[in-house]
Amino acid sequence: MTFWNVGDEESQELRFAAVGAEGFGLYHLAGSWCLGQHRFKRDLPAEWFIPNWWVASQRGGTRIAKNLVTQRLWKRIEGGYVFAWIRDSNTPDAVRRLRKREADKKKPRGGGDLGG
């Protein structure tokens, strides 16, 4: 399982202060949703994509998303949004590295020659 990370300094980040608790919530909920969409998939996208339909399904989502774009936390693209600012540990590349590290831990370790 992969976790969407929220840093302790984000409560002091001016962009998050500008979008308020609802913007902070939608931003991080979207990140969690993006991870969940790729939980069992081998390939990850170059960047997380938040579709319009998902944003619209959240209470006040479209209005809040506009504020996230204004504060340069999200970027508007065709069909939805992507993260304009993202914690390094939440990027698809970081998730790829984490998954590889976890998979490597599970691989049997080859010892020396056990034969005599």
Q: What is the pLDDT of residues 68-116, one digit of tens each?
A: 999 999 999 999 999 999 998 889 898 888 888 888 888 887 765 555 5
Residue 81: inside a domain:
yes
Domain-located, residue 69: yes
pLDDT at 116: 54
Q: Decide if 71 is inside a domain.
A: yes
Tokens found for residue 106? 């599970």
Residue 56 domain-assigned (yes or no): yes
Q: d(Cα 111, Cα 27) in Å, to the nearest integer?
A: 46
User: Is residue 46, in this structure, part of any structural domain at all?
Assistant: yes
In a domain, 47, yes or no: yes
Instruction: Quote the pLDDT of residue 107.
Output: 82
Domain membership of residue 1 (yes or no) is: no
pLDDT of residue 50: 98
**Adjacent-strand bridge partners of 83:** 74
Domain that holds residue 48: 8-104
pTM: 0.84
Percent of the chain with pLDDT over 70: 93
Q: In terms of Cα–Cα distance, which of 31, 18, 9 is closest to 86? A: 31
Query: Residue 39: is its pLDDT beyond 60?
Result: yes
Residue 40 has pLDDT above 70, yes or no: yes
Domain count, the chain: 1
